[in-house]
């Protein structure tokens, strides 16, 4: 079964637009996470950015205390974030690139260029019982480097696929890249997740990609919830994912 991890960052973005710097405010990303779980989500994803633009430290602590599914912490590979992860103990950390000027994560990690530091971080996090995923583009050399780092998972960046979805030729090309990357990852002993830009409309076409375990989806679910509610939005995505066979 293909699992759904719901990214609740955008709930925090709405809160911070009005309540930034305060200790309370609405909407609550923790309450949103609990509602997503109740609707059938298999895990919750949250990105604690260095500038704390949406999720803040107290959110992460409360998520760890209150959710009953899998907590996936997205974070940059920095000593501060490694320390926070080691204290909070999410089930899994997904290491992502981070630029202050970007609106959301725009690309995959350059694992090739940072194998040594990523390997050190992987060992540190594994040492306290946290699994490690690397968020990468569907590039075969990046997959090989991820295996050398010793990560348990990769998360394939599906942004280029999502952006090409309405162009059949480009879509086929991007799907083939994802297929090849997933196959190689599986051969190398890596488990495979995917995410970025996925929607109810474009997720079913992703079913040609083998060995997927989890999709991490945020913006589409949160934006749809404005019109139908969060429970219905999560259920719609789960239905769109239901036909997948690895």
Q: pLDDT tens digits, residue range 81-130?
A: 999 999 999 999 999 998 655 445 567 999 999 999 999 999 999 999 99
Q: Give a yes or no: residue 246 inside a domain.
A: no
SS (H, E, C) 43-110: EEEEECCCCCCCCCHHHHHHHHHHCCCEEEEEECCCHHHHHHHHHHCCCEEEECCCCCCCCCCCCCCC
Non-local CB neighbours of 36 within 8 Å, separated by 6+ positions = 6, 8, 44, 221, 230, 234
Domain total of the chain: 1
Residue 54 catalytic? no
Q: pLDDT tens digits, residue range 9-23?
A: 999 999 999 999 999
CATH number of 32's domain:
3.20.20.70
Residue 74 catalytic? yes
**What are the backbone angles phi and psi of residue 189, rounded to the nearest 5°?**
90, 10
Average pLDDT value for the chain: 96
Q: 57: pLDDT confidence band, cut at 50, 70 and 90?
A: very high
Instruction: Provide the domain limits for residue 192.
Output: 3-241
Decide: 155 and 193 in contact? Cβ < 8 Å: yes
Q: Give a yes or no: residue 119 inside a domain.
A: yes
Q: pLDDT tens digits, residue range 209-235?
A: 999 999 999 999 999 999 999 999 999
Q: Whole-prediction pTM value?
A: 0.95
Residue 120 catalytic? no
Q: Give a yes or no: residue 129 inside a domain.
A: yes
The residue from 47, 54, 114, 157 that is catalytic is 47
The residue from 74, 98, 155, 236 that is catalytic is 74
């Amino acid at each position: 079964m293909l699992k759904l991890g719901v990214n609740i960052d955008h709930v925090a973005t709405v809160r911070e637009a009005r309540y930034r710097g305060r200790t309370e405010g609405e909407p609550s990303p923790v309450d949103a996470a609990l509602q997503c779980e109740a609707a059938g989500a298999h895990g919750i994803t949250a990105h604690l950015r260095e500038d704390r633009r949406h999720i803040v430290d107290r959110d992460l602590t409360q998520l760890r205390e209150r959710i009953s599914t899998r907590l996936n912490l997205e974070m940059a590979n920095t000593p501060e974030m490694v320390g926070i992860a080691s204290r909070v103990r999410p089930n899994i950390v997904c290491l992502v690139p981070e630029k202050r000027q970007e609106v959301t994560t725009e690309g995959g990690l350059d694992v090739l260029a940072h194998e040594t530091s990523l390997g050190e971080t992987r060992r540190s996090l594994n040492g306290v019982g946290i699994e490690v995923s690397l968020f990468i583009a569907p590039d075969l050399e990046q997959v090989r480097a991820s295996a050398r780092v010793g990560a348990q998972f990769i998360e394939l960046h599906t942004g280029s696929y999502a952006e090409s979805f309405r162009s059949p030729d480009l879509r086929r090309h991007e799907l083939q890249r994802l297929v090849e990357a997933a196959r190689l990852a599986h051969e190398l002993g890596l488990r495979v997740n995917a995410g970025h830009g996925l929607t109810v409309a474009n997720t079913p076409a992703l079913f040609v990609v083998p060995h997927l375990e989890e999709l991490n989806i945020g913006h589409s679910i949160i934006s749809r919830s404005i019109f139908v509610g969060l429970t219905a939005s999560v259920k719609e995505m789960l239905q769109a994912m239901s036909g997948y066979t690895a």
